[in-house]
Every structure is written in C-alpha cells, then in structure tokens.
Amino acid sequence: MAGAMPRRICSMVSQAALPRLLRIGGGASGELGAILDSLGLSRPLIVTDDFLLKSGKVEMLIDGLRRSAIEARVFADTVPEPTAASIEAALAFQQEADHDCVVGFGGGSPIDSAKAIAVLAVHGGRCADYKAPHVQDAAGLPIIAIPTTAGTGSEATRFTIVTDETTDEKMLCAGLAYLPVAALVDYELTLTMPPRLTADTGIDALTHGIEAYVSAKANPFSDIFALSAIKAIAPNLRRVWNDPEDRVAREAMMLGSMQAGIAFSNASVALVHGMSRPIGAHFHVPHGLSNAMLLPTVTAFSAPAALARYAQCARAMDIAGADEGEQGAIGRLVDELARINEELEVPSPQAFGIDPERWSALIPVMAEQALASGSPGNNPIVPTAEQIQGLYRQVWNP
C-alpha cells in the first residue's frame, strides 16, 4: 500500500523593491550633495513647488549642494495633483540642459512630478502611454526624493499619479522606473506644515498602512512595514494636529509615512485608494482628504472578509487588547477612524461643498474609474460597480 503523499509546501515568492540609499533623521536633507557624489551624479534638476521656493527651503538645498560643488537648476512650477500638461512643461525645462538626475523636493505632487519627468526624459511619449496596466520597469533618469510632508510615502514607492486633464482621470503609473534610487527623510522639513495639510497627509499614510496590511498582495515583508507604520502613525496623528512643533511626534509620523510607503509599494493599496482618486480628479479634493472621507465606511464594508487582519490593525493602533475578539476589535477600529475624522475636522463630500447633483451624476463614472485602476481588485471584498456606487452614496454625508 502506498504511503500518504507528503503535503506539498505551498510557498509564495514575495517581491520587494526599495530605494538603494536612505538617509533618515533631522537634517538628512542637508546630505543631498554627499548622496549625489556617492551615486556619481552631478547635474540635478530640482523639481519643487512655488510654496517651497518662497519658503527659502529650496535655497537651503541649493546652498548645501554648492558645498559639494554641484550646481542645480530648479523647476518650481509643479501643480498640486500634477496634470499631464504640467509634466510636459517641466519636461521642456528639463530638456534645456543636460541633467543626469531628477530631485523631487516637496509633498507628493513635486515628487510624483519628478518621477514622471524622469521616465519621459529617457523613454519619450506622453503620460497617458504609461498608465496602468502598463508597467514601466526599464529605468529612466535616477530619482532622488526629499519629502516635506509625512504622508504620501512617494519617496519609497514605485508609483506615480498624473491626472489627464482632458478626461479628469487620475492615471496610476507603476513600475521600478518610478522608485527613487535615494530618499532623504528629514522630519525637520515637516515642522512648518499647516494643520490641514498635516491631517490630510497623515491620514493618507495611515490608509497606506491599513490597505497594505489587508491587501490581497500583502506578504510577510510588507506586513512588517505596514504594522510598524500603523503603530507609529496612530498615536501621533492627534499630537501633530494639536502641536505642529511636537518634534517627537513629527519624527514618528515621518518614519511611519515612509514605512507605509514601503508597505504599499510592495503590497499595493486597495479600495479606499481606488475610490479616492476619482473624487480627487473630478472635485479637486486633496488626496489625503478624499481617502479620509472614505476610510471608516470602506473599512466597515471590507472587514467581514478579513476579520483577523483588520483586528490586527486595531491592535497595532493600541485601541484593542491582544485578547479581545476580532469583532470587538473591528468595532473599535471603525469607531476610531470616524473619531479621528471628527477631531481632525475632515469634512464629508457634502460639507466640503461638492455640488450634490454633480456628485450623483458622476457616481457611475467614478465607480468605473475606481475599478479600472485595479486597486479594488486587491481589496478583501472585491466589489462590483454597484457596490462601489453604494459606497459613494453612503459617504456623501455619513
């Protein structure tokens, strides 16, 4: 008689990609010259925005480079939620000189702009050619990211988002070409962030951690960063809202934001982000704010299919005990996310001032665009277009 077949070990190979160099801590942005030297780069284009230019922070960066005898050119005309037209203008500027790298300096928008410029500069074409499901792994110009907000995690991700202004579609572009070769993560740059930006970007980072942890593509590598990010962000969101100069909390938020970026770059985001991008594109709601509008409702919708995972998020946030049941922990999680929104003054779409008729009319389009991005496919419950429409109706004024 043949013996029982040994059980086959089912193993899944996880993939991970990270910036080659990281400098983390107060003052890290002052090391840009040394980083460029070590990478053999010497002709950077700094991509930033007008606000940072006027704040004097760009000048500080350039002064630091001069100490390494490196001259930089600056493009400061990026726009919030970058459009294809804004990228083309930046690209024209880039082509006026022989740059060997692009430095993204700012919040998510300048860094995302830098990523798109770096790819188009080498591979040509237009932004729309690169949107998902296209994957751009072949390298563009090297990207160095210096975030000035604690939120997008863009410094550690292989994604960029560009809006097609002719269709109001937020195009997700993915691939290793968008992963910065180096990131300088300097929390001191966030000390002057105004409260609204602090809250929106902070909730974006928390959303990255939660979505990476519940994603169908979550893996043991991404899980470590997701849980660590949630642990760092959750107790400090209110602290940075109440006291912008709380250095300890700012440092934790910056580290958590980068860890959340690593987590979702290697596990993807899910339904919150899928539904958030169309809100941003059609109604010009900042990215973190549209995530926040969705997070409690989408969490309640998705949790039944991933009880253990969401309960673990609640434990990482320190709002549920290790021995508390999953249902109880998830109840606390949904309540806490709603309470964070209340305390950090996150408006509903209605309170934000969105026209109710336009909202209703666009719900079917937004549901289709959410599905087309692919992100809802990673959600614990993969929703139908009708379910997404229902969720948009539910968050209108929860």
Cα 195 from Cα 364, distance rounded (Å): 33
Rounded to a whole number of angstroms, the minimum distance from the CB of residue 392 to Fe ion is 18
Contact 91, 102 (CB under 8 A): no
**Which of residues 94 and 154 has its CB atom nearest to Fe ion in the complex?**
154
Task: Tell me: does residue 49 bind Fe ion (CB under 5 A).
Answer: no
Question: How many whole angstroms from its chain centre is CA 4?
Answer: 49
**Which of residues 204 and 251 has its CB atom nearest to Fe ion in the complex?**
204
**Which of residues 168 and 204 has its CB atom nearest to Fe ion in the complex?**
204
Rounded to a whole number of angstroms, the minimum distance from the CB of residue 244 to Fe ion is 21
**Which of residues 94 and 369 has its CB atom nearest to Fe ion in the complex?**
369
**Burial tier of 386 (Cβ tally within 10 Å: 0-12, 13-18, 19+):** exposed
Task: Tell me: does residue 168 bind Fe ion (CB under 5 A).
Answer: no
Task: Tell me: does residue 112 bind Fe ion (CB under 5 A).
Answer: no
Residue 182 identity (one-letter amino acid): A
Residue 142 is classified by DSSP as: -
Task: Tell me: does residue 204 bind Fe ion (CB under 5 A).
Answer: yes
Rounded to a whole number of angstroms, the minimum distance from the CB of residue 253 to Fe ion is 15
Residue 236 is classified by DSSP as: T
- What angle (nearest 5°) sits at the alpha carbon of residue 111, between those of residues 105 and 116? 135
**Which of residues 35 and 269 has its CB atom nearest to Fe ion in the complex?**
269
Rounded to a whole number of angstroms, the minimum distance from the CB of residue 234 to Fe ion is 16
In three-state secondary structure terms, 88 is helix
Q: Which two structure tokens, joined as six digits, stand for 119? A: 């790819």
For CA atoms 56, 57, 63, 66, the dihedral sign is negative
Cα 208 from Cα 162, distance rounded (Å): 19
Rounded to a whole number of angstroms, the minimum distance from the CB of residue 260 to Fe ion is 9
Rounded to a whole number of angstroms, the minimum distance from the CB of residue 272 to Fe ion is 8
Which residues, listed in sequence order, are joined to residue 47 by a DSSP beta bridge? 75, 104
Q: Give every strand in the sheet of 73-75, ordered side by side.
A: 21-24, 182-185, 143-147, 101-106, 44-47, 73-75
**Which of residues 94 and 259 has its CB atom nearest to Fe ion in the complex?**
259
| Number of residues binding to Fe ion, judged by CB under 5 A | 1
**Applying CB under 5 A, which part among 11-19, 26-34, 35-43, 196-204 lies near Fe ion?**
196-204
**Which of residues 329 and 370 has its CB atom nearest to Fe ion in the complex?**
370
Cα 153 from Cα 298, distance rounded (Å): 21
Rounded to a whole number of angstroms, the minimum distance from the CB of residue 207 to Fe ion is 6
Q: How far apart are the first and last CA of the chain?
A: 64
Contact 334, 267 (CB under 8 A): no
**Which of residues 49 and 204 has its CB atom nearest to Fe ion in the complex?**
204
Cα 75 from Cα 70, distance rounded (Å): 16
**Applying CB under 5 A, which part among 2-10, 198-206, 226-234, 342-350 lies near Fe ion?**
198-206
Q: Which two structure tokens, joined as six digits, stand for 193? A: 């962030």
Task: Tell me: does residue 31 bind Fe ion (CB under 5 A).
Answer: no
Find the helix or strand (DSSP H, E) in which 273 lies: helix 271-283
Rounded to a whole number of angstroms, the minimum distance from the CB of residue 212 to Fe ion is 11
**Which of residues 94 and 198 has its CB atom nearest to Fe ion in the complex?**
198
Rounded to a whole number of angstroms, the minimum distance from the CB of residue 208 to Fe ion is 6
**Applying CB under 5 A, which part among 83-91, 203-211, 299-307, 330-338 lies near Fe ion?**
203-211
* Shortest-Cβ-distance residue relative to Fe ion: 204
**Applying CB under 5 A, which part among 50-58, 181-189, 201-209, 232-240 lies near Fe ion?**
201-209
Listing DSSP states for 320-341 in one string gives S-TTS-HHHHHHHHHHHHHHHH
**Which of residues 72 and 156 has its CB atom nearest to Fe ion in the complex?**
156
Q: Which residues bind Fe ion (CB under 5 A)?
A: 204
